[in-house]
Amino acid sequence: MNLLLLLISSTMFSCISCFYARNENDDPYNMFLNFKNKYNKIYDSLEEHENRYQIFLDNLEIINTHNTNNHDWKMDINIFTDLRNDEFKKIRVNGFDNNKSNTPKIVLYNYFETSDDDEIPDSWDWTEKGAVTPVKDQAQCGSCFAFSSIGSLEGAYFLKTGKLVSLSEQQLVDCSSDYGNQGCGGGLMDNCFKYVIDNGICSEKDYPYSATDSECKKCDSVFKIKSFVDITANDESELAKAVYKQPVSIAIEADQSVFQFYSSGVLTSSSNCGTNLDHGVTLVGFGIDSKTSKKFWKIKNSWGSSWGEDGYIRMERDISDKEGMCGLAMMASYPVLE
């Protein structure tokens, strides 16, 4: 009976895919099987397999519609293509937990000072300067706040010592609850900086990432920070001056399909991604796109290197909305070493 059901379902899938196929490579069901194989997707039942295939088809339509509308940036199939948008939101965003934080945000040291005479180049990329570790993956844990904080901490330590050390996100997940963070339930980058002021930060090797809430462990701190700086909100010019000095922790809204399926190019302001901040990332540079001449920010995400441009996204810079693309200029900060 089970074999008969499997044969009927396989035939049904084949018939469904016939309506979409133009050639063998365009067959959506073959694409779905390749997707499952590439991302090691395993479903518990035939019913779940059917459900995920239908979601895949719905998302494929979103991707294809976008890519045929002459946008400057592209969408593509990725690890999230079998997820509904509400599922995507639940497992990959909402880790920036500003509303739930029970600790007030305090500027401890007004270190960042600029003037109208400050000049910056047209492009700057901390990945090319050696200040950025390889892209990491937060997995199904709302720990983006920790990855954002660690990105700027790693950059600051490199600029101080010339050493690029991968630092521990898990330590911040497990140990910073007294500072207002809530582990895989979310947190704030500034709360992480407050923790590191008092307790220091350990290496990834010493305290590896597990993508779960665990008991806080002892480890040998690599360094402490002196303070942190909150950059003037809603001012992309000030943000550019800051990231020219070092990588910066920022928050964005990342719960829309534009992020779920982003593949390449400069995400433009026409994407309407919103300003309801829900995701922490690390700003590592800026530049001008050679094809479109659009000014962009370069941002390191924490969804693995298979997402976006090898784990990065470029977002349009100096737009008319003062909050910046997806709210990126609303809440930015960076650590200050001794």
Q: How many CA atoms lie within 13 A of 191 on its CB side?
A: 29
CA proximity to 139, closest of 323, 326, 304: 304
| The two structure tokens encoding residue 297 | 């920010």
Alpha helices in the chain (DSSP H): 2-20, 28-38, 46-67, 85-92, 144-161, 169-175, 189-199, 236-245, 257-260
At 221 the pLDDT is 98
Phi then psi dihedrals of residue 252, to 5 deg: -140, 170
At 272 the pLDDT is 80
Phi then psi dihedrals of residue 275, to 5 deg: -130, 20
Distance CA 99, CA 95 (A): 11
Count of CB atoms within 10 A of residue 93's CB? 23
Query: Considering 144, 175, 273, 326, which one is annotated as catalytic?
Result: 144
301 counts as catalytic: yes
Query: Considering 78, 202, 279, 326, which one is annotated as catalytic?
Result: 279
Query: Which residues are CB-neighbours of 60 under 8 A, at least 6 positions away?
Result: 28, 31, 77, 81
276 counts as catalytic: no
pTM equals 0.88
Query: Which residues are CB-neighbours of 285 under 8 A, at least 6 positions away?
Result: 123, 124, 125, 126, 127, 128, 243, 297, 298
Strands 266-267 and 312-316: parallel
| The two structure tokens encoding residue 266 | 């400069």
Ranges assigned E (strand) in 239-311:
248-252, 262-264, 266-267, 279-288, 295-300
DSSP string, 76-89: ---TTTTS-HHHHH
Digit-by-digit pLDDT tens for the chain (338 residues) are: 444 444 444 444 443 333 333 344 579 999 999 999 999 999 999 999 999 999 999 999 999 999 999 898 999 999 999 999 999 998 888 778 765 444 444 444 444 455 555 689 999 999 999 999 999 999 999 999 999 999 999 999 999 999 999 999 999 999 999 999 999 999 999 999 999 999 999 999 999 999 999 999 999 999 999 999 999 999 999 999 999 999 999 999 999 999 999 999 999 977 889 999 999 999 999 999 999 999 999 999 999 999 999 999 999 999 999 999 999 999 999 999 97
At 116 the pLDDT is 55
Distance CA 208, CA 201 (A): 12
Query: Which residues are CB-neighbours of 44 under 8 A, at least 6 positions away?
Result: none
CA end-to-end distance (rounded Å), the chain: 70
144 counts as catalytic: yes
